[in-house]
C-alpha cells in the first residue's frame, strides 16, 4: 500500500511519501514515490504516486523521456499547473491501457493497473498549487477550506491534518504535521513504511526546495514518534472525566400474579 500527501499553505508547499511497495511475512520492498522536476528558476513540480507500480513507473519514465527528447508537450513547457495535470493524466490512462493489453484475458479483478497521482508546484506567472489526478485521468485542485490532498491509505493520517492545517499554517508547522500524519499511518498500517521522503517548496522561489529522506532509524523520526505518543497520552490523561449519572436506588415493586 502507499501513503502520500501534499499540503498547500500561503508560505508554500509540503510533500511527503512513504517508500513501501510490498510488505510480506518475510519480504519488504521499497521504492521512491516522489519525483521532482524543474527547480530551474522558472518552474518547480513534484509528483507523488500511488497504485500499480508498473503504471506509475511507466508514467514517470514517459515524463522523463519527453523532457529529454524535448517533446512538443512536456513538463518543462506546459503553460500552467492545470495543463501539467492534464498531461500527466493523459499519460496515466495510456499506460493503464498498455498494461491491460499485456495480459489478454486476465481477470480484471485480479489485475488492476490503476494509479493515482498528486502533482504540485509552481510555474512562473501562476500561484503554487496541488492537484490530485485520478486513474481516469481527471483531476481536482485542493480547496481553500481543505488545503491538502492525500492518496493511498488516507484514513489514519487525516485527523491531524483536519485539526491543524489551514492556509495560514507556517511551512515548518505544515511539515511537522505531514510527518506526524505519516507516522500515524505507519503505526496503524504495516503496508505503509519508511524510508519517508519529504519536499518543502517556498512560494515564488522557483527553486528545487528542500528534499530529505528519513530512514527507519533516523533520530528525528524516532524522536518525533516518541514525543507525539507521549504528548497524546498526556493530553488524554488531562481530559476531564465524563459526568457519571447518580444511580437511582428506587426499587420498582412488580406485583405478583395470583394463581
Averaged pLDDT, 207-222: 94
Among candidates 133, 130, 126, 132, which has minimal Cα distance to 206? Answer: 126
pLDDT at residue 24 greater than cutoff 50: no
Grid cell at residue 28: 519488504
Please give the pLDDT value at position 144.
83
d(CA 24, CA 17): 20
Mean pLDDT of the chain: 89
Please give the pLDDT value at position 26.
45
Question: How distant, in Å, are the alpha carbons of 66, 68, 216, 226, 259 from that of 72?
Answer: 8, 11, 41, 50, 98
d(CA 35, CA 21): 16
CB neighbourhood size of 79 (10 A): 11
Averaged pLDDT, 158-171: 96
Binned at pLDDT 50, 70 and 90, residue 143 comes out as: confident
Among candidates 180, 165, 160, 157, which has minimal Cα distance to 228? Answer: 180
Amino acid at each position: 500500500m502507499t501513503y502520500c500527501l501534499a499540503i498547500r499553505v500561503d508560505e508554500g508547499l509540503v510533500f511527503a511519501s512513504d517508500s513501501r511497495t510490498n510488505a510480506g511475512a518475510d519480504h519488504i520492498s521499497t521504492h521512491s514515490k516522489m519525483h521532482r522536476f524543474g527547480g530551474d528558476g522558472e518552474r518547480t513540480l513534484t509528483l507523488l504516486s500511488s497504485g500499480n507500480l508498473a503504471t506509475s513507473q511507466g508514467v514517470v519514465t514517459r515524463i522523463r523521456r519527453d523532457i529529454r527528447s524535448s517533446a512538443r508537450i512536456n513538463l518543462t513547457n506546459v503553460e500552467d499547473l492545470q495543463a501539467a495535470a492534464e498531461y500527466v493524466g493523459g499519460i496515466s490512462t495510456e499506460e493503464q491501457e498498455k498494461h491491460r493489453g499485456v495480459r489478454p484475458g486476465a481477470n480484471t479483478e485480479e489485475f488492476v493497473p490503476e494509479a493515482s497521482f498528486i502533482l504540485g508546484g509552481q510555474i512562473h506567472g501562476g500561484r503554487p498549487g496541488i492537484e490530485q489526478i485520478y486513474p481516469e485521468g481527471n483531476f481536482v485542485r485542493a480547496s481553500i477550506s481543505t488545503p491538502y490532498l492525500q492518496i493511498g491509505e488516507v484514513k489514519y493520517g487525516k485527523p491531524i491534518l483536519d485539526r491543524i492545517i489551514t492556509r495560514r499554517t507556517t511551512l515548518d508547522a505544515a511539515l511537522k504535521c505531514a510527518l506526524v500524519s505519516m507516522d500515524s499511518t505507519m503505526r496503524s498500517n504495516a503496508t505503509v513504511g519508511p524510508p519517508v521522503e519529504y519536499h518543502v517548496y517556498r512560494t515564488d522561489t522557483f527553486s528545487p526546495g528542500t528534499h530529505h529522506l528519513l530512514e527507519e532509524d533516523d533520530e528525528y523520526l524516532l524522536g518525533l514518534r516518541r514525543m507525539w505518543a507521549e504528548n497524546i497520552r498526556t493530553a488524554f490523561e488531562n481530559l476531564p472525566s465524563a459526568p457519571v449519572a447518580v444511580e437511582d436506588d428506587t426499587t420498582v415493586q412488580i406485583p405478583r400474579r395470583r394463581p
